[in-house]
Amino acid sequence: IDAINTPLNEINKHLAKFPKDKPFVLYCAGGYRSMIASSILKQRGWNQFVDIIGGFAEIAKTNIPKSEYICPTTLL
């Protein structure tokens, strides 16, 4: 799985990393920042993505397979 970790305050500098030709998923820890990122991307022409409502906090409650990776930094 190819994951891109982009801080919300840097999203405009990294728009080229987000594919316009294939679907992808946005999420953050609690769902608020990814909701804002979703709005920014939609304004700029991206449409093939979904935003996870509730973020990773909600994903963690499911039986979806997850890695044991822990991010070494706190991102904005």
Does some domain include residue 76? no
Q: Are 52 and 27 in contact (CB under 8 A)?
A: yes
Does some domain include residue 14? no
pLDDT of residue 71: 64
- For residue 76, which of 16, 17, 34 has the smallest C-alpha distance? 34
- Work out how many domains the chain is built from and give that number: 1
Q: Work out the pLDDT band at 4, boundaries 50, 70, 90.
A: confident
pLDDT higher than 70, residue 73: no
Does some domain include residue 12? no
Could you tell me which residues come within 8 angstroms of residue 57 by beta carbon, excluding any fewer than 6 positions away? 29, 30, 31
Does some domain include residue 35? yes
pLDDT higher than 60, residue 76: no
Per the structure, the complete domain to which residue 46 belongs is given by 21-59
How does pLDDT run across 10-52, given as a tens digit for each residue?
Answer: 999 999 999 999 999 999 999 999 999 999 999 999 999 999 9
Does some domain include residue 73? no
pLDDT of residue 5: 87
